[in-house]
Chain A
Amino acid sequence: MSPISDNLDTERRGVVFRLRQSDMLHSFLRSKIAMLSALITLAAIIGAAFAPWLAPHDPFDLASLSILDSQLPPVGMEGADPLYLLGTDDQGRDVFSGILYGARISLAVGFVSVLLAAVVGVLLGLVAGYVGGRTDAIIMRIAEVQLTFPAILIALLIDGVARAVFGNLDRERYAFWILVLSIALSFWVQFARTVRGSTLVERNKEYVQAARLIGIPPFLIMIRHVLPNVIGPVLVIATISLGLAIITEATLSFLGVGIPPTQPSLGTLVRIGNDFLFSGEWWIAMFPGFALAILVLAVNLLGDWLRDALNPKLR
């Protein structure tokens, strides 16, 4: 069989075959840590996505809450109710169900803000790297100034402005989007810088010159030809950013400027529980906190593995 038809054959056999042949899958199956953290991340995503069906109680259904069930300790301690695996908070809400619903919001904020940051960052990075000149200089100057300010500070400032513009009530209604916007605004720089770097290398390669010669418009060259070749590192940054975004969201919610307590995220749950730490009800803050930590740890380990797997130099 000639090499050309061999190539065609591989292509025809589709994605599954190519995945089975790839190094990525091989390295994934060999790394126990990667598999474990992927499992935890997947479990968290499923638990969060199907929270209304999986959670034993609905923490937002006020009718089902009873003050008699409030501040029950987790199973294994004296006075526990087996109905409430991880105990209940001051209003009788099940802590375990709260964590599932909380993870839903934490993950949603994380995913949407990273997606937004990635889209904006990749596009700006492509344009900066491909067009060059003054456009490049302006985009990168903005990125540099942005980089000097920590994400938390930018998010706090945006929140303060949002409070002044919307007023406190409306701010709670838009809290999710304000949060997504402020996190994305501080995370796009990382994407832009990386993509710009790889685009600078790609733009001088022959396939780009050929595409330019046959008159393909610059925008199409960027999206259809350059983008697929610079997307690898973007995946790594996205995974690492997801962990950071979840931490940032939790921190802002803990500080009381993120998701309001009517729809608590994991950070809001820790904030609520923090008030009961001194009266002995440690489980209200600790379990959501540990859930958050395990989730972020799993995502970070996954990011570490992805970085090593995509970088052949390290092998």
Chain B
Amino acid sequence: MLAFTIRRLLQAIGVMLVVALISFTLFRYVGDPVNQMVGLDTSLEQREALREQLGLNDPVLVQFARFVTRAAQLDFGTSYQFRQPVVDLIGRRLPATLELSLVSALLALLCGIPMGVYTGLNRDSLLSKLFLTISLIGISLPTFFIGILLIFLFSVTLQWLPSFGRGEVVDFGWWSTGLLTISGLKALILPAITLGLFQMTLIMRLVRSEMLEVIRTDYIKFARARGLSQRSIHFRHALKNTLVPVITITGLQLGSIIAFAIITETVFQWPGMGLLFLQSVQNVDIPVMAAYLMLIAFLFVVINLIVDLLYFVVDPRLRVERASH
């Protein structure tokens, strides 16, 4: 297992270097960093001095090495648009996005798995058909339109829930949370549903098809023959064996939840990283774009790594196989 972990770690570092190269190319060659930092009245000599001072005349490899070293220390330069360090900007907005993403993922799991088990066990019941129809619609409706529909229904027509922002937040050092106030929780409901709906349908379909397969296997028949209770067979024996693919997909989806948060955050004006990234694209704020790209890639790589290691926890067969090799 140690060798496996080390190999995966090396791969992860490789991917991060490739992404860093893309970020660096963006940062260095798309738009001139010096032009973005100085006013129109700056003379050519001053520009050249600034260029020298920033190290933009050094060999490319030296510049790349410096970029990576700084990125590892979370130094991504200064935003062109806000004139503030990028890391402060992102750090301030990170909690909002992470809270939204985790709550959505939790929602997707807590609704998706039971729905999947139910539709897998009762293939032809009316409720199963309803769930499947809803899931098809959930896949076909674009995320932004689901958000707009929810706003129209619950904010404009019924006026139950707020349509934008995070509500009141409580600060813990640099982390601000909306989970501890009533208005914060109310503001979270609609965005979380919008973001989680697609993943929920995905998890439901996955659990359903896995359940359909597992329920036909011999050991389930044997468990029946032993006279175990239905509940014990379904949840302790069948569900457990469907979880490996579910963990993979959920882990991978967690990454795309964070990326898809861009859409949800725009619809609900949620003050997270996604909204910041979208503004940076619209205003050609290259340092923010580069930093966001690195951060997302880092989250992806870490999640993938955790997913791979979780296999060992969930599936004892893997541990035995690896040990015997």
Contact = CB atoms under 8 A, between A and B. Distances in A.
Given A250-B142, A257-B282, A277 B151 contact: yes
B26 A251 contact: no
Nearest to A290: B145
B139 A254 contact: no
B164 to A, nearest CB: 10
Contact of B156 (A161, A256, A278, A300): A278
Given A150-B256, A152-B263, A293 B145 contact: yes
A267 B266 CA distance: 14
A296 B137 CA distance: 10
Q: Size range of the interface on B?
A: 35 or more
A157 interface: yes
B278 interface: yes
A49 interface: no
B318 interface: no
Interface stretch (A66-74, A125-133, A208-216, A281-289): A281-289
Contacts of B297: 148-149
B145 A292 contact: yes
Interface string A149-188: 1101100110111011100000000000000000000000
B282 A251 contact: no
Interface in B127-155: 136-137, 139-145, 148-149, 151-152
A278 B18 CA distance: 45
A257 B148 contact: no
Q: Size range of the interface on A?
A: 35 or more
B225 to A, nearest CB: 30
Contacts of A150: 255-256, 259-260
A255 interface: yes
A153 B30 CA distance: 18
Contacts of A251: 142-144, 263
B16 to A, nearest CB: 11
A70 B143 CA distance: 29
Given A150-B259, A300-B139, A300-B140, A164 B31 contact: yes
A194 to B, nearest CB: 19
B17 to A, nearest CB: 11
Contact of B142 (A256, A278, A296): A296
B37 to A, nearest CB: 15
Contacts of A274: 148, 267
A297 interface: yes
Contacts of B256: 150
Contacts of B141: 293, 296
Contacts of A250: 142, 144-145
B281 interface: yes
Given A152-B262, A255-B262, A297-B137, A270 B148 contact: yes
Nearest to A148: B300
Which interface residue of B144, B282, B300 has the most chain A CB atoms within 10 A? B144
B278 A165 contact: no
Contacts of B296: 149, 153
Given A153-B296, A156-B277, A157-B289, 8 more contacts: A160-B281, A160-B289, A254-B144, A277-B148, A278-B156, A282-B156, A292-B145, A293-B141
Interface of A: 145, 148-150, 152-153, 156-157, 159-161, 163-165, 243, 247, 250-251, 254-257, 267, 270, 274, 277-278, 282, 285-286, 289, 292-293, 296-297, 300-301
Those 9 A-B pairs whose CB atoms lie nearest each other, nearest first:
A160-B281, A297-B140, A164-B31, A150-B259, A289-B145, A164-B30, A150-B256, A254-B144, A296-B140
17 contacts: A145-B18, A148-B304, A149-B296, A149-B300, A150-B259, A153-B296, A163-B284, A251-B143, A255-B262, A256-B282, A257-B278, A277-B148, A277-B151, A277-B156, A289-B148, A293-B141, A297-B140
